[in-house]
Chain A
């Protein structure tokens, strides 16, 4: 009965752990080429927003 919740909970836990670990790891930013704004102009989804935020942070 509880198994579906356990499986989903476990995968959510793995996702959160992987996200936190990935965030903590230093990105080699000098090697990171930002995509131009043009490439994101026709895409309004969430991940394009991430790219734009990263560009603003720089």
Chain B
């Protein structure tokens, strides 16, 4: 398997099929935690970590537990529970090993349980059929790369959006448009900009 596959997976998940602007997943944290760049960065780091580990775990559970026993129809509920459990374990682990990391990520970890982008990426990795194309082992590598790309895409978009919102706070915006209305217009323009990347890969 060539490196092109991984490159395409990253670019595709990060820019062309961006989870927030093209698939409309994880819109709540996109709007809710993007008032300041600091909070956006903290949320991005937490999402990145859980998205990648969650994708690996759900992929393994799907192909080693659900599919062999022909119970793939419970994948959604199983993935939700796995992600929720993973967040609890990650929080515990961080509490134990690094207070500094807990300070940086701690407050954003519980928010991730309700972030549908995590579940969406886990489901997409299965639906894209990487295991059928590359085998279960190499498929896992491609799925992980795709999850890293999706997480980077989430981080890129939420950080760019938070930077724009910070500048908008100081801008002379008409009263009726202040706050959420102008933010939604900005999000729409950003989505249009990402639409321009369609067809690159």
Known interface pairs A42-B180, A45-B114. Does A34 touch B103 (Cβ–Cβ under 8 Å)? Answer: no
Interface of B, secondary structure class, is helix
Residue of A nearest to B40 (CB): A39
Does B138 sit at the interface, judged by CB under 8 A? Answer: no
17 pairs, A vs B, C-beta closer than 8 Å: A3-B69, A7-B66, A7-B69, A8-B77, A8-B78, A15-B85, A22-B92, A22-B95, A35-B107, A38-B35, A39-B32, A42-B31, A42-B183, A45-B114, A47-B111, A48-B32, A51-B110
Known interface pairs A18-B85, A18-B89, A39-B39. Does A31 touch B102 (Cβ–Cβ under 8 Å)? Answer: yes
Q: Which of B94-121 contact A (CB under 8 A)?
A: 95-96, 99-100, 102-103, 106-107, 110-111, 113-114
Would B31 and A43 count as touching, CB distance under 8 A? Answer: yes
Best-surrounded residue of B35, B88, B106 (most CB of chain A within 10 A): B88
Residue of B nearest to A28 (CB): B99
Question: Nearest 5 pairs between A and B by C-beta?
Answer: A43-B32, A18-B88, A11-B81, A31-B103, A15-B85
Known interface pairs A7-B74, A46-B114. Does A27 touch B32 (Cβ–Cβ under 8 Å)? Answer: no
Q: Which residues of B contact A3 (CB under 8 A)?
A: 69, 71
Q: Which residues of A contact B99 (CB under 8 A)?
A: 28, 31
Interface size class for chain A?
A: 20 to 34
Residue of A nearest to B74 (CB): A4
Residue of A nearest to B81 (CB): A11
Q: Which residues of B contact A40 (CB under 8 A)?
A: 32
> Could you tell me how many residues of chain B have their Cβ less than 8 Å away from some Cβ of chain A?
39
Q: Which residues of B contact A48 (CB under 8 A)?
A: 32, 111
Would A32 and B103 count as touching, CB distance under 8 A? Answer: yes
Q: Which residues of B contact A28 (CB under 8 A)?
A: 95, 99, 102-103
Known interface pairs A28-B99, A43-B28. Does A7 touch B35 (Cβ–Cβ under 8 Å)? Answer: no
Q: How many angstroms from the CA of A35 to the CA of B29 in the assembled complex? A: 13
Does A33 sit at the interface, judged by CB under 8 A? Answer: yes
Best-surrounded residue of A25, A34, A47, A50 (most CB of chain B within 10 A): A47
Q: Which of B131-184 contact A (CB under 8 A)?
A: 179-180, 183
Q: How many angstroms from the CA of A18 to the CA of B88 in the assembled complex? A: 6
